[in-house]
Amino acid sequence: MLPHVVITVTETGALEVTVDGAAFPPPAEGQGWTRGTFGELMDAVTADRTVAVRIEVRESDGSVFTDLIHARKPTPPQPAETEPRQPRSKHTKAKQAPELVEVTGEGFVPGEDIAVALIVAHTDATGTGHARARLDVSRLAGLLDDGVGEVVLLGRVSGTVQVRRLP
């Protein structure tokens, strides 16, 4: 279940924030959340975008806006300059180029997000409502060995479902 963040904008423009019903105070005493600190607030609530949350903003005029802030994949740390690089030996295999399989479908809403299941990737529909996904066969090798041989294209807006057998 996603954490539910409610942000209420007061008449003065200050933001009152709760997360799952509990008050979420600003980091510094005496300072409050404001529209100007909204980015910092989102970073604090989502732990620098590592946690997905549902946001509800209640404006002082009575209007309400909702959104989902998706977590992003953490960026792996770069090796420190002091770490020696491992020399390549003649026994080290070069990384092979991926072997790709193309899966297509139609009937999607132009520009909609398409889920590609065994959920290994997502793609977008073209301006004509067609979708195309290119899959790295090496990522699917273990699954294919287990007898899985189909891919599902699911239109997130249209609900269009296309099931395709892998070659």
> Secondary structure of the chain in the HEC alphabet?
CCCEEEEEECCCCEEEEEECCEECCCCCCCCCEEHHHHHHHHHHHCCCCCCCEEEEEECCCCCEEEEEECCCCCCCCCCCCCCCCCCCCCCCCCCCCCCEEEEEECCCCCCCEEEEECCCEEEECCCCCCEEEEEEHHHHHHHHHCCCCEEEEEECCCCCEEEEECC
Residues 106 and 161 in one domain: yes
Q: In this structure, is residue 36 part of a structural domain?
A: yes
Q: In this structure, is residue 83 part of a structural domain?
A: no
Alpha carbon distance 40, 95 (integer Å): 40
Q: In this structure, is residue 84 part of a structural domain?
A: no
Question: How many domains does one find in the chain?
Answer: 2
Torsion angle in degrees (nearest 10) through CA of 95, 101, 105, 110:
30
Residues 63 and 18 in one domain: yes
Domain end among 69, 86, 110: 69
Q: In this structure, is residue 85 part of a structural domain?
A: no
Taking all residues of the chain, what is their mean pLDDT, rounded to a whole number? 79
Residues 161 and 109 in one domain: yes
pLDDT, tens digit (0-9, with 9 covering 90-100), for 14-36: 899 999 999 998 887 768 888 88
pLDDT, tens digit (0-9, with 9 covering 90-100), for 105-160: 888 888 888 888 865 666 788 888 888 887 777 766 666 555 556 788 888 888 89
pTM higher than 0.85: no
Structural domain containing residue 13 = 4-69
